[in-house]
Amino acid sequence: MSCILKAYRVSSTQDWGLEPAAGKREWMDRSQDKFAYRCLPLVMANQAGWVATCPFNFSAIWNGKNDMNSIALRFPEGEGNSKGHVKSHFGNGVITFSLPWLFRTSPGYGLWARGPSNNPKDNIIALDGIIETDWAPYTFTMNWKIMRRNTEVFFRKGEPVCLLVPFPLGLLESVQPEFREIDEDPVLKQDFFYFTSSRSANIKKIASTGESAWAMDYMRGHMPDGTEVTTHRKAFKLQEFTGEKNPPPKPPAPEQTRS
């Protein structure tokens, strides 16, 4: 069953972005030999949704108090047409992004709004929210909580500030969790112990020789015996939003004369 994700423009979207999440991260680029990209679960999580990006550069300082005036926001180049889209709305060191879209999803689907995956920021953490976008005619905000007082945080224009992940709202409650002993599945047990022994040998080789000896079975989508898993994924290929992001303004309606 497919899901439709619609973004209805409700205010100026100038300089905002809404696009599939990228697989790369600056800290992963800087890792030794870019080894972080050998962790396929990280790369997949990086791409798992669509991101809304910041419309301007700004910084914020929280004085540690709980009132709405406890954050000082600074916009070096101004806010442009997105004035008021970023503010202190809840107090307690929380920065609120008012996204300029109202989102709707197919029946039974909602949106998980969260910070961009595996993209840590110093002194601030993204707050998650789950929204029933299959019926609600309401917008929602994306919020970030500053952690340390009197320590400035920065957001750059074009930086992802919200990751949107559609998912079936009934999925979690349909899951039936169970505890099991691995001895109940001899094949799985054999494959698991082959994996752990191989991984231990690779770690010892790296530690003793410094040579790269990464086990790539999961990355390749291979079982321990070399069998290829045909359903294996190495990336998400999300679709771009269609339609006009910033349609031209409508001409004023002609004046009607009374007869």
Average pLDDT, whole number, for the chain?
Answer: 91
Are 19 and 122 part of one and the same domain?
Answer: yes
- Establish if 258 belongs to a structural domain: no
- The whole-number average pLDDT for the span 200-209 is 73
pLDDT, tens digit, for every residue of 162-192?
999 999 999 999 999 999 999 999 999 998 9
Are 29 and 150 part of one and the same domain?
Answer: yes
Say how many domains are in the chain.
2
Per the structure, the complete domain to which residue 231 belongs is given by: 178-242
Residue carrying the six token digits 């905002």: 16
Are 114 and 184 part of one and the same domain?
Answer: no
Confidence at 109, pLDDT banded by 50, 70, 90: very high
Are 167 and 202 part of one and the same domain?
Answer: no
Which residues does residue 153 pair with via DSSP β-bridges, in sequence order? 60
pLDDT, tens digit, for every residue of 126-150?
999 999 999 999 999 999 999 999 9
Tell me the pTM.
Answer: 0.87
Are 34 and 161 part of one and the same domain?
Answer: yes
Are 199 and 167 part of one and the same domain?
Answer: no
- Establish if 76 belongs to a structural domain: yes
Are 168 and 230 part of one and the same domain?
Answer: no
Are 69 and 169 part of one and the same domain?
Answer: yes
Residue burial 205-219, b: 16+ Cβ < 10 Å; e: rest = eeeeeeeeeebebeb
Residue carrying the six token digits 């994924």: 233
Residue carrying the six token digits 């299959």: 134
Are 121 and 52 part of one and the same domain?
Answer: yes
Are 88 and 134 part of one and the same domain?
Answer: yes
Provide, rounded to the nearest whole percent, the portion of the chain with pLDDT above 70. Answer: 91
